Amino acid sequence: MRLAALLFASLALASSLGGCRIVSDKVLAADEKKSPDAFDANAYVAKIWTAPAVAEFKAKAVDLSMLLPAIEADPDKTGKAYGRGGGEGNPWSYEVKGQGKATAIDVASRHGLLTVEIATKDGAKAVDLQIGPVIFGTALRDSLPSVHFGDFVNQIQFAQVSRALNDAASKGLKGAFDAKTVVGKTVTFYGAATAGSASARMSVTPVAIEIGKAAP
């Protein structure tokens, strides 16, 4: 009688738990291995880095000498024409290229910046290249047409991809220039940029920097 009552009670409990699923420890362990945190962002990026990522930048990047005045004149129209990801209050991200004189460098901060002046129809405009080791933002990820939020389980994975992309970019820049002598030289670069507020200087996450080359 007691056993029956116990069975009944546990059945009643199980049915009232509604959405619960009782699993064995083995299944639980296997589930945890598949957890979102087990995603390897560096491996993912390694697969896409040289191609399509960097190849994409070199082929499709928009010249900043045209883009900078266009963004200033009409940010939304320019975004729709050349950018990705914007709308609903989200900023536009661009694949960009540029050439100009390096006018300043900050390597005292870990968020290193190389300032380059780009000639445009509205005069010289300065942009900051993020030369690492610490890189801010998600411009690289957001400008790439092949990477979508919906492809990942959650925003943590999506963010890890951005970090891995930034790290790959930062590593790729090693040896590209000498911080002590670059100021005053002509710099050519490819990279990603997210359009910020109108007053802020544009920050570019570079995937390639070349010193003293002719116009791309």
Contact call for residues 173 and 130 (beta carbons, < 8 A): no
Contact call for residues 158 and 23 (beta carbons, < 8 A): no
- With H, G, I as helix, E, B as strand and everything else as coil, classify residue 49: helix
Using alpha carbons, select from 103, 113, 80, 106 the residue that is nearest to residue 195. 80
Tell me: does residue 159 bind another protein (CB under 8 A).
Answer: yes
Of 52, 69, 133, 172, the one binding another protein by CB under 8 A? 133
Tell me: does residue 9 bind another protein (CB under 8 A).
Answer: no
Between 21 and 121, CB nearer to another protein: 21
**CA 151 → CA 23, 25, 86, 148, 210, distances in Å?**
28, 29, 18, 5, 33
Tell me: does residue 163 bind another protein (CB under 8 A).
Answer: yes
Tell me: does residue 109 bind another protein (CB under 8 A).
Answer: yes
Tell me: does residue 88 bind another protein (CB under 8 A).
Answer: yes
Tell me: does residue 33 bind another protein (CB under 8 A).
Answer: no
Instruction: List residues binding another protein (CB under 8 A).
Output: 18-21, 36, 88-91, 109-111, 133-134, 136-138, 148-150, 153-156, 158-159, 163
